[in-house]
Structure 1
Amino acid sequence: MTGRPLIELEDAALSLTMAVLKASPSPLLLLDGALGVVAASRSFCDAFDLDPATTADQSIFALGAGEWDVVQLRALLEATAAGAAEVDAYEMELKRRGRPTRQLIIRARSLIYQDLTQQRLLVAVADITDARAGEREKDAAIERVGVLLREVRHRVANSLQIISSVLLQNAKRTKSDETRGHLKDAHHRVMSVAALERQLSEAETGGEEDVELGAYFTRLCDSIAGSMIGEGDPISLVVTGGGVVASRISINLGLIVTELVINALKHAFPPGRPGKVTIAYQARGPNWTLSVSDDGVGMPPDRSLVTPGLGTSIVQALAKQLEATVEVGSAAPGVRVSIDHTQIALLGETDDAAPSGVALERPAA
């Protein structure tokens, strides 16, 4: 078999390798075992304003005005040459006098090839200066939006507080019992929304994006109790369970709790009757259940006597937004309203509650 001598083949392979490296569109350096530059791609020289004719045969740390002589980079490349480490993604700042600082990602590998006497390291450089600047601008924009949102929520909460005070004053002045009842209902709803806005504002000021439901429901019930339960009334509101949800979900859950608790306080307990309203939240993975139950007079045997009202419509609409269903059933005694969100069916689960769509209101006793 005839052919060119081995030395000529090796020279041709080396020449091809050097040509490919120099023509690479990505900034590349080929270093020897002493971290001297064997070759540099044209893109590397162009990116860092270096003369290709003088780049080779000098240490990487002598390139330019010595700006590559960074202590940590030197340690990482020396460890790579010794086979003790590999530079996967070292981020560094390249500082040059009179020029903007560049943010770089350095990757280095020791090459394994036929000539074991000639150690070579391949160094790849990626300039991420513009990407980092874009990230900083995005973060600053998000922070500005967050500040504006917190300011809006603070102002909304204050405005709602004023509106609720006006509603309560008008309720006290009116002579019509029906009008007074409607104004008080509006007052309770506005107060609940104001309490939610205040809590979300406080959470976001502390850098939180989620809401702890146990604490939120407790504050919400304290607000409702303060405006609807008299000092001598033997009625209590109890919160059990809890969990952490996104603030947008907590808004709907808080409004649902408000409607159901107000409804229970209005209809479940005749004057002087003691009782308890329990608000419970349980989550199992993506599935969750919110329930409001009371031990009051319960629903009438004939459901046709119950006329759906505004509260029913509000709860049904809010549950639909959460992709949940509303179930109304007996709490023996009293009534239990359950809001169920089921994303994954669990084995052994049964549904004994009344069908959704049943009116939540009960005729006052």
Structure 2
Amino acid sequence: MNVRILYLDDDPAIARLVQKTFSRSGHSVTHAEDLERALELLVADEFDAIVLDHYLRNMTGHDVLARLRAEGISLPVVYVTGSNEAEIAVNAIKAGASDYVIKSVGEDFLPLLLSAIEQSVDNARLRAEKARADEEIRLGKERAEALLAEVNHRVANSLALVASLIRLQTANSRSEEVKAELSETQARITAIAGMHRSLYTSHDVSRVDVNIYLANLVGEIGSSLASPDRQINLSVEADPISLKSDRAVSVGMIVTELVTNAFKYAYPDTGGDIRVRLKRCSDAQALLTVEDDGIGMSADSLPKGTGLGGRIIKSMAASLGAGLSYAAAAKGTVAHIPIDLEPISLT
């Protein structure tokens, strides 16, 4: 390894000795007697390391270190001092020197200096390689996230197209039973499409801001199930909570099924309110609530329709936490779904 060294020392004799000794190891040494000459050489040529003597004319090596950093020069600096005061070397390290060597008249000074230089250069190269690797990882992560966002965008658009086709098929169907089944299918597809839409608009393509997702989802459900015969008022109140995409889509599917059921059964003859709430109870848990003021349901009532919606709700609620439960209410139906919140990694 050929190391290009800038030796800053006002003693030309020691500089010549270093040049002669280090050249035997294949290293090149350029001498500068003062800071201004050193700065000129740093602009004109390339170096791997700087050797800096503490005592210079009209300044100390500490002053030089401050100037080098102010100029944006980040080459490794090996500090040389003849002083036995440890404070000088410690202050040099604090000021940015990578290592220090005590200047002595013994034979071990130059080998120690060469070892310090080579080690400092190796460490600097390792840091530079790590920085390049980190940058490549960062750029690769950005490219992957951009690609994933585009995939989520395309999936959301495709699902929205499927939902639109089902809507057209629903409008052309003559069977009320078929219409109801198609409407439920459309709502489920809308829930999944909304999750993908939330992912491609999010800064983190692996997580969904559930409060924003639910607001958009409930609005779309209300539009798809709106009827001129009944005035149903939908509202959403949600704390800012972020979930992984698979858990977010479970929340969306549960809300879709419960809101759809309330549309169909809570107010058979009149209009009314359906409220969706998502509240953070603690750092570890949140509570999803869907409630209405309708006719209510008995504990032993049989599922209506195919019962598929009920099975979807129970399965997905169990995957989120303690599962689905119904609270006692003076009127209407109140469904509670606890959600276990996974800790967010900061790494």
TM, length-normalised to structure 2: 0.66
Alpha-carbon distance, 1:323 to partner: 3.7
Partner SS state of residue 337, structure 2: strand
Distance 1:246 1:319 in 2: 14
Q: How does 1:157-306 map to 2 (within 5 A)?
A: 157-204=156-203, 211-248=208-245, 249-272=247-270, 274-283=271-280, 284-300=282-298, 302-303=299-300, 305-306=302-303
Q: Deviations over 1:319-365 (max 9, x none)?
A: 33334432222332111111113579xxxxxxxxxxxxxxxxxxxxx
Q: How does 1:1-365 map to 2 (within 5 A)?
A: 50-51=27-28, 54=29, 61=38, 66-67=45-46, 81=62, 106=76, 114=84, 121=92, 123-124=97-98, 125=120, 126-127=124-125, 128-204=127-203, 211-248=208-245, 249-272=247-270, 274-283=271-280, 284-300=282-298, 302-303=299-300, 305-306=302-303, 309-342=307-340
Contact 1:280–1:292 (CA<8 Å) still a contact in 2? Answer: yes
RMSD: 4.7
Q: Deviations over 1:89-115 (max 9, x none)?
A: x79987xxxxxxxxx675788989745
Q: Percent identity?
A: 25
Unaligned 5+ segments in structure 1 are 1-24, 95-103, 345-365
Q: Deviations over 1:8-58 (max 9, x none)?
A: xxxxxxxxxxxxxxxxx9x9x9x9997999899xxx9999x733xx46896
Alpha-carbon distance, 1:179 to partner: 2.5
Contact 1:268–1:298 (CA<8 Å) still a contact in 2? Answer: yes
Moved more, 181-190 or 230-239: 230-239
Contact 1:161–1:191 (CA<8 Å) still a contact in 2? Answer: yes
Contact 1:212–1:243 (CA<8 Å) still a contact in 2? Answer: yes
Distance 1:184 1:342 in 2: 30
Partner SS state of residue 303, structure 1: coil
Alpha-carbon distance, 1:226 to partner: 0.7
Partner SS state of residue 190, structure 1: helix
Distance 2:212 2:302 in 1: 37
Contact 2:79–2:89 (CA<8 Å) still a contact in 1? Answer: no
Q: How many residues align?
A: 293
Relative to structure 1, is the Cα distance of residues 228 and 343 closer, same or farther in structure 2, using a 3 angstrom cutoff?
closer
2:107 matched to which residue of 1?
none
Alpha-carbon distance, 1:200 to partner: 2.5
Unaligned 5+ segments in structure 2 are 53-58, 99-119, 343-347
Contact 2:210–2:243 (CA<8 Å) still a contact in 1? Answer: no
TM, length-normalised to structure 1: 0.63
Distance 2:142 2:10 in 1: 47
Contact 1:157–1:194 (CA<8 Å) still a contact in 2? Answer: yes
Relative to structure 1, is the Cα distance of residues 264 and 111 closer, same or farther in structure 2, using a 3 angstrom cutoff?
farther
Alpha-carbon distance, 1:280 to partner: 0.8
Alpha-carbon distance, 1:245 to partner: 0.3
Contact 2:10–2:32 (CA<8 Å) still a contact in 1? Answer: no
Moved more, 31-40 or 176-185: 31-40
Alpha-carbon distance, 1:63 to partner: 7.6
Relative to structure 1, is the Cα distance of residues 185 and 153 closer, same or farther in structure 2, using a 3 angstrom cutoff?
same
Letter aligned with residue 250 of structure 1: A
Distance 2:189 2:231 in 1: 25
By percentage of residues, which structure has more helix? 2
1:8 matched to which residue of 2?
none
Distance 2:312 2:11 in 1: 72
Contact 2:153–2:197 (CA<8 Å) still a contact in 1? Answer: yes
Contact 2:9–2:32 (CA<8 Å) still a contact in 1? Answer: no
Distance 1:112 1:160 in 2: 75
